[in-house]
Structure formats: structure tokens, C-alpha cells
């Protein structure tokens, strides 16, 4: 029953955001695994629309923050405001206390703002004033980056990148898809009404419990571990990888890859994880975590090319 309702949610998102199936898949995987998602792509590709549609589909509160160089940590977390009539301070919550938070152009704000958001992403709490306040049970950050503009941006620290479960690159639609988008928006750009019985927090909890029960065999565990090891000791697996990789992934990435494989298997109605799922989802989990050596950067080697070489160098267990 829970799976059918998530499939209904997926159909609703697909009808609201046309031609962005990988984006929709990533949002559902993040929802099922309690993970955050980093989206990279030029403006106008329905990233905001997709997160809004997801919030409608799960009866969640949506908030959007436009990151700018003059943004302050309190603009995200909230602050204590003095009430003259009561002669006391009152905490005014910031947008981070939503269920789904869209951090638009996240790399346009400096380190202090990133640190405030990182605490919420990693600890599920906010320190503001003299107190620490817990975030909602359902809390998911979807951040965007524009790859076309680098002037005036602040590269995200590795610690924060590692807190994003998935990194998705959004592409422009095909001509046929764009024609369907024109027809959808011809009579207005409003989102379609959500399903008559949208998901709630108990449904999401039940789905996460079912995802945790998806079987992962010992051979799949070995495969996951060897893939991670190949990023840390690449010379054992491939001379190319040894020349290209400067640092390997963290154990958090291995855990995350297993979690998204479980979630994808559940969405596809399977009760076990296959090597094909690992290979298909690995780029989304590894892409933002791998550090390239200066030689790879000088040669113009892309992260996706390195990932292809990694999958080729590590045999399936």
C-alpha cells in the first residue's frame, strides 16, 4: 500500500514537472533516505517547481532562500526579537524550520552562512541566541548551483558537500519535451492539485521502514566497499585513477550509496539490491565527493569520466 502511494506521488510529480525524471527520482530518493539533494543546472529548468510540487504531495511546508553575498546566518536560522510591549525577547523562526527548504544558488553566500545551514543539515538543529532548537522530523534541503556563473561565488567546503546525499545535473529538455511544457503552461503556470490523499509523515516513516528491510547481499557489500577503496588507494586498481584522484570518499558516501540503492529497489518493486542499481546510482552519490588531482584538472578530465573509469576498474563481486 505504501509503495503504491509513493508511485502515485511520482506520477503526480512527473505530470507537474515534465522531462525531468532524474530530478524527480533524486527528490524521492532523498525523501526515502532522509538525505539532502544538490541540483546543478542553468536557471529555468523547473527546479523550484519540482520542490514545490513535492511539498504539496507530502503536505509539507515549503520555504525558499535566495542566497546572496550579503545574507546573514540569522536570515536562515531566525533571531531573537525584543518585544517592547512585553519587555522580553521572542524567537522568530527563520525559513530553515520548514519541511522542504530550497537553498537557491547556495554557493553565493560566505562561510558563516554556510556554517549555519550546515548545522541544520548535519545535526537537524539550529543554534540561535541562547538556545538550540530542533528542526521538524521531516526536514530536507534541496540546494541549487548555476554552473554557468562562477563570478562572485564561494565554493562549498568539502564538509558541506559531503552532507548532500545526491548531486544531480539538470539538462535542458528535448524539443518534444519542450513542446509538452508549452502545452502544460499555456493556460497558466500553476501546479496541478496534489493527489486527493497526499502522503503524510506517518506514510514517509512507514516507507523508510520498508526501505531499510530491502536485502543487501554480502557480494553487494563487498562491491560497495571495493568501490570506496578504489577512490582511496587507486593505484591498486588503475594507473589512470592513481593519476586523477587526489582524495577518496568518506564512509558516509558508502552508507549513502547503499541507502539510495535500497530506496530505488523499493521504488521499483524489488526486495534486493543488484549491481546494476549500484552502477546506475553511484554517479549521483560520488560526483560531488571525489577530489581531482591537479593533473586531471590540467588535462580537462571530467568527474563523470573518472567515475566511468572507476566502475570499469572495480569488478562486480
The average pLDDT across 52-75 equals 92
pLDDT of residue 269: 93
The average pLDDT across 66-85 equals 86
What mean pLDDT is reported for the chain? 89
Choice among 27-41, 72-86, 298-312 with the minimum mean pLDDT: 72-86
CB atoms within 10 A of CB 294: 8
Distances (CA, A) of 239 to 74, 227, 242, 244, 301: 48, 15, 5, 9, 14
Domains of the chain: 2-172 (3.40.50.300), 213-313 (1.10.8.80)
- Digit-coded pLDDT (tens) for 251-309: 999 999 999 999 999 999 999 999 999 999 999 999 999 988 888 888 888 899 999 99
Is residue 58 within 8 A of residue 185, CB to CB? The reply is no
pLDDT at 26 over 80: yes
CB atoms within 10 A of CB 202: 9
Q: How much of the chain exceeds pLDDT 70, in percent?
A: 97
- Digit-coded pLDDT (tens) for 209-263: 999 999 999 999 999 999 999 999 999 998 889 889 988 899 999 999 999 999 9
DSSP SS3 for 103: strand
pTM for this prediction: 0.92
Say how many CA atoms lie within 13 Å of 296 toward its Cβ: 21
- Digit-coded pLDDT (tens) for 88-130: 777 888 999 999 999 999 988 888 888 889 889 999 998 876 7
| Banded pLDDT at 149 (limits 50, 70, 90) | low
Q: What is the DSSP letter of 228?
A: H
Q: Grid coordinates representing 196? A: 486527493
Amino acid at each position: 500500500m505504501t509503495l503504491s502511494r509513493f508511485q502515485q506521488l511520482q506520477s503526480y510529480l512527473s505530470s507537474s514537472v515534465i522531462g525531468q525524471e532524474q530530478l524527480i527520482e533524486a527528490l524521492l530518493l532523498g525523501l526515502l533516505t532522509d538525505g539532502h539533494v544538490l541540483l546543478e543546472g542553468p536557471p529555468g529548468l523547473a527546479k523550484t517547481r519540482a520542490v514545490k510540487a513535492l511539498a504539496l504531495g507530502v503536505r509539507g511546508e515549503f520555504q525558499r532562500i535566495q542566497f546572496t553575498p550579503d545574507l546573514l546566518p540569522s536570515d536562515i536560522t531566525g533571531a531573537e526579537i525584543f518585544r517592547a510591549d512585553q519587555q522580553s525577547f521572542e524567537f522568530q523562526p527563520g525559513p530553515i524550520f520548514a519541511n522542504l527548504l530550497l537553498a537557491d544558488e547556495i554557493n553565493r553566500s560566505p562561510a558563516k552562512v554556510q556554517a549555519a545551514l550546515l548545522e541544520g543539515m548535519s545535526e537537524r538543529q539550529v543554534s540561535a541566541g541562547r538556545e538550540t532548537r530542533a528542526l521538524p522530523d521531516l526536514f530536507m534541503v534541496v540546494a541549487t548551483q548555476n554552473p554557468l556563473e562562477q563570478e562572485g561565488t564561494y565554493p562549498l567546503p568539502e564538509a558541506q558537500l559531503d552532507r548532500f546525499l545526491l548531486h544531480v545535473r539538470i539538462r535542458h529538455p528535448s524539443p518534444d519535451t519542450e513542446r509538452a511544457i508549452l502545452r502544460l503552461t499555456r493556460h497558466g503556470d500553476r501546479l496541478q492539485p496534489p493527489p486527493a490523499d497526499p502522503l503524510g509523515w506517518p506514510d514517509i516513516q512507514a516507507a523508510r521502514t520498508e526501505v531499510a528491510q530491502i536485502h543487501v547481499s554480502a557480494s553487494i557489500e563487498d562491491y560497495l566497499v571495493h568501490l570506496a577503496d578504489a577512490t582511496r588507494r587507486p593505484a591498486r586498481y588503475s594507473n589512470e585513477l592513481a593519476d586523477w584522484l587526489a582524495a577518496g570518499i568518506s564512509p558516509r558516501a558508502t552508507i549513502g550509496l547503499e541507502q539510495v540503492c535500497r530506496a530505488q529497489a523499493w521504488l521499483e518493486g524489488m526486495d534486493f539490491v543488484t549491481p546494476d542499481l549500484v552502477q546506475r546510482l553511484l554517479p549521483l552519490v560520488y560526483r560531488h565527493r571525489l577530489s581531482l588531482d591537479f593533473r586531471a584538472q590540467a588535462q580537462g578530465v571530467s568527474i563523470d569520466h573518472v567515475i566511468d573509469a572507476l566502475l570499469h576498474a572495480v569488478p562486480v563481486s
